Amino acid sequence: MSDKLSTRPYKGTRDFYPEEQRLREWMFNQLRRSVNQYGYEPYDGPMLELFELYAAKTGSEIVNEQLYHFEDRGGRKVAMRPEMTPTLARMVAAKANQLPRPVRWFSLPNLWRYEQPQRGRLREHWQLNVDLLGVEGVEAEVEIVQVAIDVLRGFGAGPTDFEVQINHRELMNDLFDKVLKLEPGQTQAVAKAIDKRAKIPAEAFYDLLTAAGCNAEQIETLEKFLVCPLLDIPSIVGEGKGYTDLIRFFDTVNAMGLGPVCRFNPSIMRGLDYYTGIVFEVYDQHPDNRRALFGGGRYDNLVGMFGNTQMPGVGFGMGDVTLKDFLEVHGLLPEITSQTDVLVGLFSAEMFIASQTLARSLRAGGIKVEAVLSPQKLGKQFQYADKKGIPLVVMVGPDEAAEGKATIKDLRSGQQQTVEQRELMARLQVMLHS
């Protein structure tokens, strides 16, 4: 066995070399711009929380199979956050009486889940969380779904590139309890089967339901429900709150012209236990990436877990991994080169102070400047700038220094010109913005 350490990161995590980091920052900045347009404010919290924060409501799959948890040195059971919503609810509950309502917050935390790494799924990911708390009616869902749509549009996605698929937890509860009359122990297995339905053959779906203890009649009713248009839902489940909320939601988004990107899909379950109302998932429509990109929903009882104040909430979480896949298949990822504007080259060791002084004066004028520190062949210096995507190289040799001049080489066109140093800044600005 080698005594050398591995350079590979821990399975399911990523290193972000500058090239990847640039792309990520571009993505994050675009996300921030989109949510800022709706007045959402940034917040953050700790990466470690008490285990019990997740045990209560996060859902058994995450808690039992995916949570990174351990005992700290003081014997407290702690967990690395697998999602942000419990932290958000805890923070909002702590200041519930002081916060102006509605609360509009967003965050971009890194989250940890022990998953089998695969396309769209890693063990550490970053997730845009956008949440609106303090609004009871579907107006909140109407806003949150608009934010979700505009986040994708902000990247240049067109209206047919994705679809928001919408369902309601109460509709499902009514179906399970009043129509199918499932035993409490059965609902979880049936919900899981529905969640998987789009990804498995019809027989496998049937087998899962049978294994969950459903009889032929229950399966037939469920199959009918899962392909039922929204307007016909009352014939199966009646006109409960789930149905009326959905009708109000769709009436509103249709009137706003957002109807074509929103669709009722009665098989959207969402894995988390705390959802109480409308739930949704955004699906990529590209044939090579037909999968859920992100999701969210209404959670009315989460803040109330921490004290006496109830505050309803609606929000979504969008992962960076699935977002990048989406942007990639739709050709929406830009080529992002260096942020540096100018490389100040070094003609010879004797010119070090002159070139450093020049670099300082350019930086003071607001130009982003890298400076060469040790003498190298000029060709090498140009190659370095080219490789890093720096468009301009400025060089001062002894003759130019004596005459108060400098030479600019534009690596984009290959052209070179010598200018007075006092004109250099203005000339560079023009060239950078050309």
| Minimum distance from residue 191 beta carbon to ligand HAM (Å) | 14
Which span (147-155, 312-320, 373-381, 424-432) binds ligand HAM, by CB under 6 A? 312-320
Give me the least distance between CB of 179 and ligand HAM, in Å please.
26
Note whether 169 binds ligand HAM by CB under 6 A.
Answer: no
Among 57, 69, 81, 113, binds ligand HAM (CB under 6 A): 113
Q: Which is nearer to ligand HAM, 300 or 400 (CB)?
A: 300
Size of the site for ligand HAM (CB under 6 A): 24
Interaction of residue 330 with ligand HAM, rule CB under 6 A: no
Site membership for ligand HAM, residue 125 (CB under 6 A): yes
Residue with Cβ nearer ligand HAM (225 or 316): 316
The pairing of beta strand 342-344 with beta strand 392-395: parallel
**Does residue 192 belong to the site contacting ligand HAM (CB under 6 A)?**
no
How many C-beta atoms lie closer than 10 Å to residue 337's C-beta? 12
Tell me which of 87, 167, 322, 355 binds ligand HAM, using CB under 6 A: 322
The DSSP annotation for 167-215 comes to: EEHHHHHHIIIIIS---HHHHHHHHHHHHHGGGS-HHHHHHHHHHTT--
Residue 103 touching ligand HAM (CB under 6 A): no
Single out the residue of 64, 71, 65 nearest to residue 50, CA to CA: 71
Q: Which residue among 296, 312, 345, 391 contacts ligand HAM (CB under 6 A)?
A: 296
Element (H or E) spanning 104, and its range? strand 103-107
| 57 lies in the site for ligand HAM, by CB under 6 A | no
Per CB under 6 A, 316 contacts ligand HAM:
yes
Residue 370 as a binder of ligand HAM (CB under 6 A): the answer is no
What x-and-dash track marks residues 239-278 binding ligand HAM by CB under 6 A? Answer: ---------------------------------x------
The reply to whether 318 sits near ligand HAM by the rule CB under 6 A is: yes
Nearest alpha carbon to residue 272 among 36, 51, 45, 54: 54
Cβ-based neighbours of 344, under 8 Å, separated by 6 or more: 355, 356, 358, 359, 362, 369, 370, 371, 372, 393, 394, 395
**Can you list the alpha helix ranges (DSSP code H) found in 365-408?**
378-387, 398-403
Instruction: Yes or no: say if 83 and 127 are a contact pair by the CB < 8 Å rule.
Output: yes
Minimum CB separation of residue 119 from ligand HAM in Å reads 10
Contact call for residues 176 and 237 (beta carbons, < 8 A) = no
Helices within 286-370 (DSSP H only) = 320-329, 352-364
**Between 312 and 317, CB nearer to ligand HAM:** 317
Contacts of 95 (CB under 8 A, 6+ apart): none
Cβ(342)–Cβ(369) below 8 Å: yes
CA distances from 293 to 20, 22, 316 (A): 20, 22, 11
Q: At its nearest, how many Å lie between ligand HAM and the CB of residue 192?
A: 14
Residues that bind ligand HAM (CB under 6 A): 83-85, 113, 115, 121-122, 125, 127, 129, 131, 272, 292-296, 315-319, 321-322
